[in-house]
Amino acid sequence: MINKLYFLIITICLIQSPLFSQIKLTDSESKNIDSKFQSIEKRLEQIEKSDLKSLNQRLEFSKEIISGHDTMFSGINTIFALVSAILATLGIILPFLTYFLGIKPAQDSIKNLRKEMSDFLKNTQKEQVEKALQNLNSTNLQLKNDANLFLSINQHYEFQDKDYFDIYSLLESDLEDSYKGTLKLIFSNKISNYATKYFDSLIITHEADPNIFYIIRYYSLCGIENKFSKIVEYIKNSQYISNRALNLSSMIISTSHTDFLKIFDSDEIISAFTKEEGILFLKHIQGTLEHYKLVDLFKNTKFFKSFSN
């Protein structure tokens, strides 16, 4: 702006100089004009210096503002970087904290609660089983019927040795057969010393035939081949060996085809039959073999080969 003003004044002076050249000035007037020009030049210089100083001040102020902004943005960037690092760290740590402080304690609590509930239910059922076995000796018919129903529903309960002893004692007592049936079924579900003792004794008595289902069920559980000697005793303990063998076969063949074939592939079982009884048995068993589609398999047994010729 100053330069433009200065240029304007000089231009005016140059334009007017021809005019002045035509006018004859006195020395005093000439000096006066020079003095004014000098005054104007000084004034212009002062104005220019003042404007430059002001401009420099503004530039310095702008630099300070820019520098302040740079510092501020640098600080903000640092804060953002710090916050980002904290958030990233929390993102890694929080899942672990959530698991160890929240989920795992809850899982442990649930596990402990389940164990406590399981123990409570086991203890409750144990008490109920013991009470039911006691009630079978009761003179109260309603209590006996309720006990029998409870035991029949819970026949697969994990009975303890004390329970098996109580069952054995009840079976050896004069308890009614309708209640003994439930106890025999419980005995035939799991191998135990008391069950083995009971069924090994039962098979050689006159009560073996009506109880052959429980006996064979238990012997299959023990491994039928381990009970061949007892089965031979059962077969021989009759005037009509073929009829008893047929009764045994009809029961065991409905339980396990494999056990049936094992029995009649045993030399020990074959020795229990006379020639006539063996031939008679083959004649009577034919219909059962056809029903269960075991004719061809039975022909491969030692028993069939011994008595079919």
Per-residue pLDDT of 168-208, as tens digits, reads 999 999 999 999 999 999 999 999 999 999 999 999 999 99
CA distances from 258 to 47, 213, 221, 223, 263 (A): 126, 16, 13, 11, 9
pTM attached to this predicted model: 0.64
Q: Low-confidence residues of the chain, pLDDT below 50? A: 2, 13-25
Q: Sketch the domain layout of the chain as residue ranges.
A: 116-192, 203-309
CA 50 from chain centre, in angstroms, equals 87
CA distances from 36 to 8, 51, 153 (A): 16, 22, 133
What is the per-residue pLDDT for 29?
60
What is the per-residue pLDDT for 22?
45
